[in-house]
Amino acid sequence: MLDISRVKTISLDLDDTLWPIWPTIERAEKVLHDWLAAHAPMAAALFSNPAALREIRNHVADQRPDIKHDLSAVRRESIRLALYRAGEDPLLAERAFDAFFSARQQVELYEDAHDALAVLSARYPLVSLSNGNADLKRVGIDRFFRAAVSAREFGVGKPDPRIFHAAAGAVDVEPHEVLHVGDDATLDVIGAVNAGMQAVWVNRDGHQWTYDEPPHATVSDLRQLCALLA
């Protein structure tokens, strides 16, 4: 049961909580392929299927545990490897990644997200807490957040308790005073609870909860979250 009286700060997941991530990634991968077609045509031909680029990205993540927490680094190195395998100049990877990364920031918020951010940020300090590589300023929602904590910059990702504690520390509160909100049952809910926080599960698609310990609350969208905290 959620104890609203304890909540002094809200930490928010980004991908699939504020916007759907896969349409964003698919558009960004299309931009990347178009860039390769113009500047590295052999790589574009070799990796014309998005699944092929994702396969090489997964390979890099498996082979480079030192950068697995940093999705930008994984993506950049996977592009570099793709260029190398295609006989193209690996030095093009930086520019190719820039094209991908710019498109990756062009997200489409869920219809409830913008108004909810306005309501929540007026009542609580908000901290973004993400394993992804979205840039709040480039997305256009940085004004709602007091701080941003990402696995890419912190060095470990959710569900490690240390990154949750970093989110609490970013606004000078204790973990038990933070309400974490996110869509992923393992990374967000179980991770937050294990870090000593309360957790709200954003379950937009009506999934069944499969863990022994339930979230403190479940909502189907962020409007319900605002109502819950009203």
User: d(Cα 11, Cα 179) in Å, to the nearest integer?
Assistant: 6
**Among the four given CATH numbers 1.20.120.1600, 3.90.1150.10, 3.30.1380.20, 3.30.70.890, the one describing domain 22-104:** 1.20.120.1600
Return the pLDDT at 54: 85
Return the pLDDT at 116: 98
Mean pLDDT across 199-209: 97
Domains 4-19+109-229 and 22-104 share a fold: no
Cis upstream peptide for 214 (omega within 30°): no
- In terms of C-beta distances under 8 Å and separation of at least 24 residues, what long-range contacts does 134-140 make, across chains too? 134/14, 134/15, 134/104, 134/105, 134/107, 135/105, 138/102, 138/105, 139/105, 139/107
Q: At residue 44, what is the residue type?
A: A
SS (H, E, C) 101-166: HHHHCCCCCCCCHHHHHHHHHHHCCEEEEECCCCCHHHHCCHHHCCEEEEHHHHCCCCCCHHHHHH
Return the pLDDT at 136: 97
| pLDDT tens, position by position, 15-43 | 999 999 999 999 999 999 999 999 999 99
Return the pLDDT at 48: 84
Domain residue extents for the chain: 4-19+109-229, 22-104
Return the pLDDT at 52: 86
| pLDDT tens, position by position, 99-135 | 999 999 999 999 999 999 999 999 999 999 999 999 9
Q: Mean pLDDT across the chain, nearest whole number? A: 96
pLDDT band at 226 (very low <50, low <70, confident <90, very high): very high
Closest CA to 111 of 18, 23, 191: 18
Query: Taking 90 as the threshold, does the pLDDT of residue 8 lie above it?
Result: yes
The percentage of residues in the chain with a pLDDT greater than 70, rounded to a whole number, is: 100
CB 203 within 8 A of CB 218: yes
Q: For residue 152, give both structure tokens.
A: 């890419």
Mean pLDDT across 124-147: 97
Q: How many residues does the chain have?
A: 230
User: d(Cα 89, Cα 54) in Å, to the nearest integer?
Assistant: 20
User: d(Cα 19, Cα 17) in Å, to the nearest integer?
Assistant: 6
Return the pLDDT at 47: 86
**Among the four given CATH numbers 3.20.20.70, 3.30.310.80, 3.40.50.1000, 2.70.170.10, the one describing domain 4-19+109-229:** 3.40.50.1000
| pLDDT tens, position by position, 40-97 | 999 999 888 878 888 998 999 999 999 989 999 999 999 999 999 999 999 999 999 9
Q: First CA to last CA across the chain, in angstroms?
A: 16
SS3 199: strand
